[in-house]
Structures are given as C-alpha cells and as structure tokens.
Structure 1
Amino acid sequence: MGERKGLNKYYPPNFDPRKIPRIRKPKNQQKKFRSMVPLRIRCNTCGNYMSAGTKINCREEKVIGETYLGIKIHRFYFKCSKCCSELILKTDSKNSTYVVESGATATRVCDQNEEEKQAEESGDVMSSLEKRTLVSKREIEVMAALDEMKSMKSRRVSVSVDSMLEALSRRHKEEEQVANEEDAALIKSIRFGMQRRIVDEDTDEMKEKKKKGRMEAIDEKKPKTKKLACIITSKKKTSLGLASLCHNYGADEED
C-alpha cells in the first residue's frame, strides 16, 4: 500500500539539497481550505439565505494590526452559493462569535446578553426571580450596614475621651472584683486531703503538752511536802535533844 501511495521517493546519488532554491512566501499568505458557514447569513446582491453549516471553499488570512488580549483575529473570504459574489467574515474574540464585514448580513447575532434576555423571556422565570431576590437582599444588607455606621459615628461624636477612659477603668475594676470573688469562692470550695492529719498531729502535740504541764505541776507540789517533812524531822530532832538534855541533867543531879 505504501508503494501505491508514493510515500517512498527516489533520491539519486548526485542529489544536492543546497542547489534547490528556497520559496519565499509572503508574511500574510492566504490559505485555502474547505469549511462551513458559522452563521445564518443573507446575500446582499441576490438575497440568497445561507444557513449555518453549509459547506464552502474559503480563503483565510490574519488581520494585521488587530488583536484582542494577544489573540489574533482571522478573516475569511468565500462566495455565495447562488450568485458567486464574494462574502467576507471576521472573527470576534471578545464575544466569541463571527462578524460579517461585507457582502452579506447576519440574520442572528449571538450575544450573551441577548441569549440571557431570551432565556428569561422564554421560561426561566424562577432563575430571574432568584437573581432579583439576591439583588434585593444585598441592597438591604448594604443599607443596614450604612445605618449602623452612621449610628456608630454619631455615638463617637457625642462621647468624649475622658468619659471613655473612665468607663474603661470602671470596667477593669469590676472585672478584677469579680475575678477575686471567684477565686475566693473556689478556694473555699476546695477541701484538702491532708487537713485531718494535721489536726490529728496538732491534737497529739496538745495532749503531750498537757501531760507535760501536769507533770510539772506535780513536780512543783513535791518540794513543798519535802520541806514539811524536813520541818517535822527538825521538830522531832529538837524534841529528842530536849529529852537527851533532861536525861543528862538528871544524871548530873544524882552525881
């Protein structure tokens, strides 16, 4: 199959590609190809209607000096199917459509705004109502925000700096008092687990102190009894001395 189609070409041994002259093409050379009409148009000379999709032989070229956001614009030349008059179309990248330059008129212009209007008129009533309600809600929110801003500005104008500082200091003091009360209530509500042990230890210490105090009182009382005993013994000694003296005195008289 490849041989029949002529894909294989014969190059002689004395072939030199440098001897082949270069073809210099113009910068804006027209290209010929077969295409279809993108719009429904009407010829101005004969009044023939050409619907979208009719096959035509056209020539295409780039429009020099016209671009849209860096996108190149192309121009198409073709002939009417009835009178063979030349018709010219041009691309419209902004609206993503085609524009008739000369030789014919477009029966229908495809614009997004017109399509939206037609959709609303045809039956998209609910979507239009939703859009209107959204717009009305936004307007109401904007008006409410403006009213709040106006009220805030009027309040700020009426309030002075000294009064603002006094109000802030009062608020700070009230917050401190509330915090202190909360801390005190929390401390009172806490029950420590080691409290009973400390009390028991204190009671043991108190008991020991009481015992020591009683022993000291008893010790203080004991020396008094010893003194009395000493006094009694001394009295006894004196009586015995008198007895011995009397005994000695009687013995002297007998002598």
Structure 2
Amino acid sequence: MGERKVVAKYIPPDFDPSLVPRGKKLSAKDGTVPVRMMLPFSIQCSNCHTFLYKGRKFNSKKEPMGGPDGVYLGITRFRFYIKCTHCARPVTFLTDPKNADYEMESGGTRNFEYTKDKQEQEANAEEEEEEKKKLDPLAALESRVLDSQREMAEIDQLEEIRALNAKHLNLLKPENGNFGDETQAVLNAVHSSEKDNVDPNKESLELTAEEEELLRSVKFGKQENKLRRLDERDEKLAEEKRKKELERIRQNAAVNQQKKSVINVVARKRKAPSVDSENVEQVKRKDEGLSSLLTGYGSESDSD
C-alpha cells in the first residue's frame, strides 16, 4: 500500500498547475462561509426564551463584519449566524479581539458577560465611594487631608530635585563659561565647602599641592594603550633578572641533590643487618675451637 501511494503522487516534469480547473467555492451566494463550531457562551433566545448552553455544536455561517468597526488594530472582526434549536430564530454574535471574547449582537441575550460585569462593578464601587463621602463628612475630610498630604509630599520631592539639579549646574559651571574642566570645578567647590565649614578643633582637611596635582593628572574614561620601544637599560635589567633566576634554579638543584644523597645514605644504613653481642661471642668461640684443633694436629705430626 505504501509503495502504491508513493507512485500515485508522481508529478510529471511537464505539469502545469494553471491548467488544473479550480474547485467550487465553499461560500454561499451571500458571501458567507459554513463553519462547524461550538457556542462560545450561553444564550437565551429572545423569542422562545430557550437556553442555548456553551459548548453546543452548530452549523454556523461566518462573514466579515465590515464597516468602520469591522477592524480592530488590523484584526478583522467576524459575524456568526446560528439558529435557535426550538423556534429557528436567527441569532448573531461577533468576535471581540479587544477583550479576547465574543459580543452578542441580535436574536438573544448573553447570560454572563465578563467585561460588562467588570465595568459595572467598577462603576458601582466608584458610586458607592462618592456616596459615602457625601454622607459621611469625616470620611470626606479624611480623604481631603490625605490628598493634600500627598500633594505636599510630591511638591517637596520636586523642589529637592530642582535644588539638586541647580547645585550640580553651579558645581560644574567653569569660570570661563566653557564646560570641560570639571576637575577644576570640583576642586573649587571642595575648597569653598571646606572654607565654609571650618572647625578650629579639628585638623585641616585641605588638599595639598601634591594631591591636587595627582587629581589633575587623573584622566577618566578609556585610555589608549601606548607602545614603547625597549632601550639598552631595559635590556640590561631583563638580562640581570634572567641571570638571577638561573642562579636561583641552580642553587635549588644543588640543595635537592644534597638532600637526595643524605636520604640514600640513611636508607642504606637501615637496610644493613644488625649484629648482636651474643652472635659475636659465638663466632669468637668457634674461631678459638678451630685454632686449638689446628695447633693439636700440628704438634702430633711433629712428634712423629
């Protein structure tokens, strides 16, 4: 079966798809498209008051909504047509891409609508708060006090920000009017602040001439890497450093060699057999016995 299906899908090289006749359109004469769908929400028919529950399957018809409200942010809105299962009354509803939901149009009423219920709840909550403020003068006074405190806090924060910005501008403003010498401006501000806050009991915190020179020499930002050619002095220093390193390596090698020789001598002494005093005496006795036998044998031979 598999091979037969593969062979049946052969397309000849001279195939021209433009010569193939087009099939019939699925849309009806009125421009609608038949769609098999489930009801996205529960509906009560406005004619026979029959309930059509969510999830029920219908053979509906779909068409673009059209008009100025037919497109939302480039998304086309569609209209669906169904019929009541009891009285066959047409019921229409629309897609709602703004709220990711559907909108009831005609032929029935929706039992539950999330977006409208939410808006109604928010409106009711606002109305209740306003009524409470009107009926309760203490609550109204408290709300006004809180609003005034919030406004005062915001004004204070804004004033602080403005003062800080003005201070920064005055701090970085050079004498000649050209921005760019921020270091000198900072030094001037430091000197002025130290003069204003002088305490005779404490030591002076003024910058010395060397510190000011060091501060001026600092360049903030990315520094370019400058290459420098080595001269004879640099080569001599490198050669001396290399000789010292070589001498240090030789000294370390000599010390290691001495340590190894000492370790070998100690190891040899530990491997040599130990001679006890008893063994020495036995060896001496054997030597004396042998010497007496030899002397006796020599005297007998001489007498003969």
TM-score normalised per structure 1:
0.43
- Please identify which structure carries the higher strand content: 1
Which has the bigger relative contact order, CA under 8 A and spacing at least 6?
Answer: 1
